Structure 1
Amino acid sequence: MKFEIARDRLLDGLSDVMKAVSSKAAIPILTGIKLDVDEEGLHLTGSDSDITIQTFIPAEENGEQLIRTSQSGSIVLQAKYFNEIVRKLPTNDIEIEVSGHLQTHIRSGKSEFHLIGSDAEDYPQLPEIDDDRHFAIPADLLKSIIRETVFAVSASESRPILTGVHWQVQEGELVCVATDSHRLARRKTRLENAPEDDYSVVIPGKSLQELNKILGDSNEPVGITMSNKQVLFRAGHVLFYSRLLEGNYPDTSRLIPSEYKTDIYVNGKTLLQSIDRASLLAREERNNVVRFTADGSNVVEISSNSPEIGKVEEQVETASVEGEELKISFSAKYMMDALRAIEGQDIVIRFTGAMRPFILKSAEDDTLLQLILPVRTY
């Protein structure tokens, strides 16, 4: 195996696949990155057995020669060392050559490294996924869906299924739900090329967070293919595989109230900043609790009280308040996460009582819904 490659393009590819490599991999070879080179270009693969990322660097792109291959071949190199070496090489021209006994020579300018590789035959194969359940959505929309839901997954492994986001395809719509049993985020998206069958999967939150880092700023379509155990995202030259969580996701639809007693219309950015200020004195408290009072006027009061530190009260103007008076307490962090997901739009908060879950959504748009359970303080 012998080829020359532009260092900047190799670094771009490595930055993608490194996201899947763990230094604590259960299978030793997975601490490495697999390189496959031929006349077409270079495939780089990284995996921790939960996530597998493969990226392709073509030999030629837009008339520019990126890779010159003298001899095709495959090798697995220690990810940590290979990535650091490439990052610190002195020129943009790199030559990589594998000689007998998996000895790998990396040359650039007057610098030459010798790494001992591993046999690529020992590296796990890519998961096989049928194309039956396939659809595509623009990358920028996919990033929004992830950002608006993944923060609400559970951080606790006591119920592993809740560490993932539930993706359901039903009646031409993608419904994504995340909950940690104290709050819930739901995003609905109409699919233009939806599969005929309805089905659902649970994608680990960590996988979606890593995918989000790779997607970049394009709005090119991302192909999504689901099987019983794996999901594959295809974005440009990158293939991103994730295992799925096993088990039944709880029926969350019954958590969402069907009737409300108090509706408050308010600017999301203004409310977020107010709660952020109120939480300054609540941060030391175990629950970071903020109180919210609506007395029927067009002003709501945000307050927080910490016996050792002091207290804060702030009036927030609303567009309108409809329904009963209300006093309720909630986690400032959960409320701020929900408001950030809705991104500063005018919102409506709908309450069913001081100890019942309440929802937040955009005043103009029903596609995104956030639900929070209150905290008992009164």
Structure 2
Amino acid sequence: MPNARISLPKAKLSAVLGHLAKIPASLSMTTIQTSPDGLWLYQSGHGLDVQLCFPEARTESRVTTSVNTAALAQMVSVAPGEAVEVEVGPSGLKFGTGGYRASLNGLIVDYDEPPIEAEGGVVVPIAELGRAIRCVRHAVGGVNRPHFRGVQLEFSPGNLRAVASDGYRLARYDLGVDGPLNGKAMLPLKPLDAALGILSTQDGAATLQLHGGRLAVIGEAVRLALTPMGQGLPNVENAIPKSYVAEAIVDPRALIQAIRRVSLLSPQDNRRIDLSFSEQRLEVRGAGDYGEGRDEVPLDTYRGEPLALSLNAVYLYDALSCIEGMARIKISDPRSPIAVEALEDARYLGVIAPILNP
């Protein structure tokens, strides 16, 4: 079979390879396969299998080779022009764009990638799926809390929910899409981040399916399979207060700026800031070994008696960052978690446990 000559858009190829290079694997190799359907890239590692097609690079020649992912990404990034001209052969790749010439040695493989299939799953716009996961990602547990270090997707009739929690804060986002699935998949952070990066290069919708203990994500030109963690989140709904005694409507951008200013002087161990709510304003205070800072943020409305409580500045900053438009902060009492949500979008909810005085 003769070598296949193809032309690929440099920007998209470079973005895809950059995300593939982040997938941890003992030997980071990308398998390249030309076909009448287009150029296929295959990569596996760390609980994530990727199959990605460039349909604009169709060729009748069927050639397969495997090359080092990082080296391929670097060679594409330095190639001149907006398109990358590549000759694919069993023993590797040859680049020729303008005066640029380079070759990359490959492994001769007899490769037949098993298809990742999903039938009868939940159809979700790729952009909405990415937004849902990004909005909850800040609540993922740190390396010292491995059981919380992931985002859980929860499938139920009429809804798909993304949830993350580290035990001190919670974030959830309801996509509200209907489908036949029931179940949960706790997706570990590293492969999930790589999958999101790859999906960000795609348009349209994707079908999600739980199959064989894995989550399949099928788009028009991409197929992903992620292996969930063995243990999911506990019942996080128990952390959400059932009633509230006070509610404040505030511009999240103004509050974020106040948090940034006063948290510079907050203690480094817990990043504590003190919040005092009253009828027309919210006072934000941060104090530590080096000094004290205060700022005031006007409240659009406030219902309830004046209240004061303490929160981790980073947790509140993160919970507000996803909100577009005005934010609603709901307080049950100063010793119970608060709820943060978008005033005009009920899909997102953040919950933060307060810092209690000793």
User: What's the TM-score once normalised by structure 1's chain length?
Assistant: 0.84
1:156 matched to 2:143? The reply is: yes
- How many aligned residue pairs are there? 356
Aligned to 1:62: none
Structure 2 counterpart of 1:12, one-letter code: K
State the Cα RMSD in Å: 2.7
Aligned to 1:181: 167
Q: CA deviation at 1:56?
A: 1.1
Q: CA deviation at 1:145?
A: 0.6
In structure 2, the residue corresponding to 1:367 is in which secondary structure? Answer: strand
Q: CA deviation at 1:370?
A: 0.4
Among residues 113, 122, 145, which one is paired with 1:135 in the alignment? 122
In structure 1, the residue corresponding to 2:129 is in which secondary structure? Answer: helix
Aligned to 2:320: 339
Aligned to 2:262: 278
2:244–2:332 Cα contact (<8 Å) kept: yes
Q: CA deviation at 1:182?
A: 0.9
Unaligned ranges ≥5, structure 2: none
Instruction: After superposition, give the CA deviation of every residue in 1:71-127 in whole Å (9 maximum; x if it has no partner).
Output: 42211011222232333345656342536xx36544455554444322334x79457
In structure 2, the residue corresponding to 1:194 is in which secondary structure? Answer: coil
1:96 matched to 2:87? The reply is: yes
Aligned to 2:179: 194
Q: CA deviation at 1:232?
A: 2.1
2:23–2:46 Cα contact (<8 Å) kept: no
1:16–1:53 Cα contact (<8 Å) kept: no
Aligned to 1:327: 308
Instruction: After superposition, give the CA deviation of every residue in 1:322-363 in whole Å (9 maximum; x if it has no partner).
Output: 2233221111111000000123x2222111222211111122
2:14–2:77 Cα contact (<8 Å) kept: no
Q: CA deviation at 1:214?
A: 3.2
Superposition map of 1:1-378 within 5 A: 1-8=2-9, 12-13=12-13, 15-21=15-21, 25-26=25-26, 28=27, 31-58=28-55, 66-69=57-60, 71-89=61-79, 92=83, 94-98=85-89, 102=91, 105-109=94-98, 111-121=100-110, 125-126=113-114, 128-132=116-120, 134-156=121-143, 158-160=145-147, 162-191=148-177, 193-195=178-180, 197-216=181-200, 220-282=204-266, 285-294=268-277, 296-308=278-290, 310-343=291-324, 345-377=325-357
Work out the CA distance in 2 between the residues paired with 1:253 and 1:291.
Answer: 26
2:24–2:46 Cα contact (<8 Å) kept: no
1:4–1:93 Cα contact (<8 Å) kept: no
Unaligned ranges ≥5, structure 1: 60-65
- How much identity, in percent, do the aligned residues show? 21
Structure 1 counterpart of 2:252, one-letter code: G
Structure 2 counterpart of 1:322, one-letter code: R
1:291–1:328 Cα contact (<8 Å) kept: yes
Q: CA deviation at 1:217?
A: 8.1
2:137–2:151 Cα contact (<8 Å) kept: yes
Q: CA deviation at 1:304?
A: 0.9
1:13–1:44 Cα contact (<8 Å) kept: no
